[in-house]
Chains A and B, each alone.
Chain A
Amino acid sequence: MPDRIEMLSAYVDGDLSPEETAAIERELETSAELRAELDALREMKALAKEDLATPPDLWPAISREVAPPKKRFRPPRWAYPVAAVAVAAALALFFLRPPPAPVETPQLGDRLAAARTAYMQAIGDLAKESEAATEKLPPESRQKLAESLFAVDEAIRETEAALKTAPNDPFGHETLLSLYEEKVRVLNAAIEASRLGGPS
């Protein structure tokens, strides 16, 4: 009987050759048992159909596993060397003034805002005195000062651009903060240099 059921199964799906189809149909005409089996097969096939009910929403779990890892903020590759260059230039100018006492402000936003204020203030001061300041400096010092300021400005621009893609990265803000402070330090050093009349 299993062989006959396999034949019937193929008949139900239309997989038999015309000759095989004709043979099984002749047999069906004379065999009630085979007809019953055909009905049972058709019923079984109909019962098997699955209602594709929506499964539980697995997407949140799947997306967590397949999402690309969040890119950790990376400062511009020359952010730290630039800071070092700025310090070295300031040293070369002999104008390094003692660093300001650290302000105990635990909030990064507060520190950043204070640094921005100092940065803008220093730029304003330098704008007023820049001509006199640079004229009093020897050409090599002026060149080094210009290079340092350019390098720090480039680092600030790149860090700010990087922060646009990762605005909440605390490490990025720390880097930007340190660059602001560095520029303030260099600018103040230049102003101080002009007051002292340049290196002796």
Chain B
Amino acid sequence: MGGPAESQPTTVMKDADADLVARARNGDMKAMEQLYRRHAGAVHAYARRASGREVLADEITQETFVRAFKSVSKFKGTSTFRTWLFSIAINTTRTHMKKANKDPVTTLEEHDVAVEAPDSTGWLKKRLHAALARLPEGYREVVVMHDVLDMRHEEIAAARACTVGTSKSQLHKARAKLRAILGGADA
């Protein structure tokens, strides 16, 4: 999976960003800013959860948008802009993770678990995020996109350049592994 995955369109989706993308192609900075404002939250959340490192999220988000806007002229519209943007976010996150060369288990959040009151929602969330960081890369990506960001499998599959079936299968395996990490089931 190299570049942005435009080659896996599943259905023709109406892209709410089409007008802004057309303007961005012509170098319209206002249009780019609007696209950024629309998608920054999701990309940042993806970067935060998929990298398992709060500190990398800003860097990954910034690089994702810079790469997207610099190559927006190559975006042919065979997927939605968001799908294309996420394919860039996925690759950018992978690159950063390789550079970081650390096991995502050693995240700050895992240490933070200790300071939360056990069984509080915050504590449970942090346990879950720490467990998420221990998943294999592909599993983590699909859980973050589906369960954290509420993306559909069609969109996830297009962004990750895989089939919808693979996306679903990886999600169910990932959840089973999460339950095992959290101590609810045998691994």
A-side interface residues toward B, CB under 8 Å?
1-3, 5-7, 9-10, 13, 15, 37, 40-41, 43-45, 47-50, 52-56, 58-59, 61-63, 65-68
The 5 closest A-B pairs by CB, nearest first: A55-B44, A52-B41, A5-B176, A9-B172, A48-B147
Task: Give the Cβ gap from B8 to chain A, nearest Cβ, in Å.
Answer: 20
Q: Are B57 and A55 in contact (CB under 8 A)?
A: yes
A61 CB contacts on chain B under 8 angstroms: 62
Query: Which range contains the number of B residues in contact with the other chain?
Result: 35 or more
Alpha-carbon distance A40/B180, docked complex (angstroms): 11
Q: Is B61 touching A58 in the complex (CB atoms < 8 A)? A: yes
Residues on B with beta carbons closer than 8 Å to the beta carbon of A43: 124
Min CB distance A60 to B, Å, is 10
A58 in contact with B40 (CB, 8 Å): yes
Cβ contact within 8 Å between B148 and A50: yes
Interface residues of B (CB under 8 A from A): 27, 29, 32-33, 36-37, 40-42, 44-45, 49, 57-58, 61-62, 65-66, 69-70, 121, 124-125, 128, 132, 143, 147-150, 168, 171-173, 175-180, 182, 184-187
Extra A-B contacts (19), CB below 8 Å, given A44-B175, A58-B65: A2-B176, A2-B180, A3-B176, A5-B172, A9-B176, A10-B168, A37-B179, A47-B125, A48-B147, A49-B150, A53-B41, A53-B45, A55-B57, A58-B61, A59-B40, A61-B62, A62-B62, A63-B29, A63-B32
Majority-rule SS of A interface residues: helix
- Residue from B49, B121, B184 in contact with A37 in the complex, judged by beta carbons closer than 8 Å: B184
Give the interface SS of chain B, mostly helix, strand, loop or mixed: helix
Least distance between B81 CB and chain A CB atoms (Å): 15
Query: In the assembled complex, how far is the CB of residue B151 from the closest CB belonging to chain A, in whole angstroms?
Result: 11
Cα-based distance from A10 to B169 in the complex (angstroms):
8
In the complex, A48 Cα to B187 Cα: how many Å? 20
Q: Which residues of B lie under 8 Å from residue A9 when comparing CB positions? A: 171-172, 175-176
> In the complex, which residue of chain A has the Cβ closest to the Cβ of B42?
A52
Quick one: given A5-B175, A6-B176, A63-B33, are A54 and B40 in contact (CB under 8 Å)? yes
* A49-B148, A58-B40 known; A10+B172 contact, CB < 8 A: yes
**Which A residues are CB-close (under 8 A) to B69?**
62, 66
